[in-house]
A and B are shown apart, each in its own frame.
With several copies, the nearest count.
Chain A
Amino acid sequence: MAGKIIGKVGIPQDRFEIRLSGSGGQGMIFASVVLCEAIGRAGGKNVVQSQSYGPEARGGASKADIVVSTAEIYYPKAMKLDLLLAMTQEALDKYYPDLKDGGMLIVDSGLVTEVPTEKYYGVPFTRLAREEAGHIMVANVIALGAICALTDIVPLDILTDAVLARAPKGTEDRNKKALEIGYNEALKQKK
């Protein structure tokens, strides 16, 4: 489609599209909300979050999209992903085709075994959560730490504040630690 308008101006690509994907219980919605809130609070950027639903509302949604832009976000849904986080093999298989050429792929290397590209970051989020952060529940937060390290989408301190503001009382330390683990582990790999 290269007509009179698109041929001339194209659809502006001033947007960064993120998808967090996994299975029901992995807290992808929570992670997306926190990430959005952090980006929103950091200022200067617009964010839109959306998620998929099972039959009616039931069943944990397994996919959340975030669109980030310095301009007004006219179209709220992700079209071509700039960043895909896949916490399971199934999620990767399903959403990899939506990743832009050259887009960033982050996978849970403990659960995802077959990756169709060599350019990706693999961090064993779930194993790290269980073994180092003390609870499998925070694998998603570790992943957020990794995203923070691998992109310049949001500063770590603001992300930390956002996580703590939403985390249940009593889990602050665990979450803080999780963020750090993810951040550091990813930094190691940063190319």
Chain B
Amino acid sequence: MDRPTKRLLQGNGACVEGAIYAGMRFYAGYPITPSTEIAELCARQLPRIGGRFIQMEDEIASMAAIVGASVSGLKTMTATSGPGYSLMQENIGYAYMTETPCVIVNVQRGGPSTGLPTKVSQSDTMQARWGTHGDYNAIAVAPSSVGDTVPETIRAFNLAERFRTPVTLLLDEVIGHMREMVTLPQPGEYEVFNRVKPTARPEDFVPFELTPNLVSPMPAYREGYRYNVTGLTHDPMGFATNRADEIAVKLDKLTNKIDNFKEEIFKSRAEMMDDAEVAFVSYGSVSRATLQAASLARQAGFKVGSIQLYTIWPFDYDTIRKLCSRCRCVIVAELNMGQIVHEVEKALPENVEIQPMLRYDGEIITPEQLLARLEEVI
């Protein structure tokens, strides 16, 4: 099947292209605006490459099915939006606890509740970190255009497999639905990480072994390793435990396997930040406008920069602090009532003024709005 490598795609379509490139061969989902095109494209494309698509009875089942299929040995994905993401939370927690790689795409729309199904929002940012009960650590990745949705989706899969953990890919209605020309990557153009398989003899296999990087090798089913997977807090053998020492070890593992590699996971795009006195911090579709506003300000002679977060979680406070070391003011622009702004506050010293530039009425932030805000602070 030879198709032109440059194609007009919606962000949702770019996500499917990225996922298939990364090796995704199992999709389970339940339709919901504005993510539905992802399911529809998977339904069409997966059979063609020997993959599997199933429409489950709801989002809870969708999340369950991708975990089951991932434990069985496939790279898996689901996609949803706010209400479905909320429903998935319990089983996302199961994926954290069982250290099962998988990618959950959340194409964000306005909330809470049914909210604004066809309107853009970034208001599930904090939920992507704290949505399920208990202690754990989360990875969330956020592209800002149709074009970078392809590599960022690949990166989401790589992180999931590399760290044996669920990864949330945060899109939003604008990116998901907008169409742009995208050059599809050639084989080999991006690294594709495949999960590390055990080399121990089956009888010596310790499924949740504490390896140096805290990630345990993971066999597929029918590879000769039979072990127990449970959502109960468990020891390295995978057996439930109530022992305080073993409990702490497990939770530390879940946290540290990510925290210890924050630098590997965190990704941002800093533009014109070297000497910036005022900076924008943003992510997702908003970053397009912030970048333009910053450039215009530079043209007008002001030392303004832009930081775009490609990784939202884990939030890398150190990097942000370093990048903003010359800033006296940071404008955090997001499509919600102020979520990542709190993290930026945490990252920066008290003498840096933090200006939230928030919009939560279903529309995106315009360059004019950003410039107007800039005018106030420069």
Contacts of A9 in B (CB 8 A): 296, 299-300
Find residues 52-77 in chain A having any chain B CB closer than 8 Å to their own CB: 52-57, 73-77
- Are A46 and B181 interface neighbours, CB within 8 A? yes
Q: Is B52 an interface residue, CB under 8 A from the partner?
A: no
- Are A47 and B180 interface neighbours, CB within 8 A? yes
Interface range on chain A (Cβ under 8 Å from partner): 20 to 34
- Are B177 and A76 interface neighbours, CB within 8 A? no
Digitize B317-348: 1 where CB-to-A-CB distance is under 8 Å, 0 elsewhere.
00000000000000000000000000000000
- Are B366 and A3 interface neighbours, CB within 8 A? no
Given A3-B372, A48-B179, A74:B300 Cβ within 8 A: no
In the bound assembly, the distance between CA atoms of A77 and B174 in angstroms comes to 9
Digitize B1-17: 1 where CB-to-A-CB distance is under 8 Å, 0 elsewhere.
00000101000000000
B288 nearest CB neighbor, chain A only: A74
- From A4, A36, A53, A74, contact of B34 by CB (8 A): A53
Nearest-neighbour CB distance to chain B for A145, whole angstroms, equals: 19
Q: Is A88 an interface residue, CB under 8 A from the partner?
A: no
B37 nearest CB neighbor, chain A only: A57
B146 nearest CB neighbor, chain A only: A48
A sample of 29 cross-chain residue pairs with beta-carbon separation below 8 angstroms, ordered by A number, consists of: A1-B372, A1-B375, A4-B378, A5-B297, A5-B300, A6-B371, A6-B375, A9-B296, A9-B299, A11-B368, A12-B296, A33-B8, A36-B181, A46-B180, A47-B8, A48-B180, A49-B178, A49-B179, A50-B177, A50-B178, A53-B33, A55-B118, A56-B117, A56-B118, A74-B289, A74-B292, A75-B288, A76-B174, A76-B285
Q: Which A residues contact B (CB, under 8 angstroms)? A: 1, 3-6, 8-9, 11-12, 33, 36-37, 40-41, 46-57, 73-77, 79
Q: Which B residues contact A (CB, under 8 angstroms)? A: 6, 8, 33-34, 36, 117-118, 174, 177-181, 240, 285, 288-289, 291-292, 296-297, 299-302, 364, 366-368, 371-372, 374-375, 378
- Per CB-CB distance, the 5 closest pairs between chain A and chain B, nearest first, are A74-B292, A3-B375, A40-B181, A53-B118, A49-B179
